[in-house]
Amino acid sequence: MTLEEIKQAIQEGKRVFWSTPLYEVKRFKDTEEYNIICSSNNHCIGLTWMDGATMNGKEEAFFIKD
């Protein structure tokens, strides 16, 4: 999934994951930042680097889970 596809899916209320269902992409509404959060330990990294465009993962590793 591209960065724009990920953002659009989350805005539509879909759940987006990276690599495994342990890593979910979420948007923090107060800062409007997108982050990848590990459900097993709550570790969090930004969806993108500081440039806002380079993702912290390969596009093909992101997926939507119903």
Residues 50-66: what's their mean pLDDT? Answer: 94
For the chain, give the percent of residues with pLDDT over 90.
89
> Which pLDDT score, from 0 to 100, does residue 30 have?
82
Phi, psi angles (nearest 5°) of residue 52: 75, 5
| C-alpha radius of gyration, the chain, whole number | 11
pLDDT in tens, 37-53: 999 999 999 999 999 99
Q: Give dist(CA 65, CA 52) in Å, integer.
A: 24
Helix (H, G, I), strand (E, B) or coil at 21: strand
pTM of the full predicted structure? 0.91
Task: Answer with the residue of higher pLDDT: 24 or 30.
Answer: 24
Cα distances from 58 to residues 2, 23, 26, 39, 61, in angstroms, run 9, 14, 17, 20, 5
> Which pLDDT score, from 0 to 100, does residue 66 have?
75
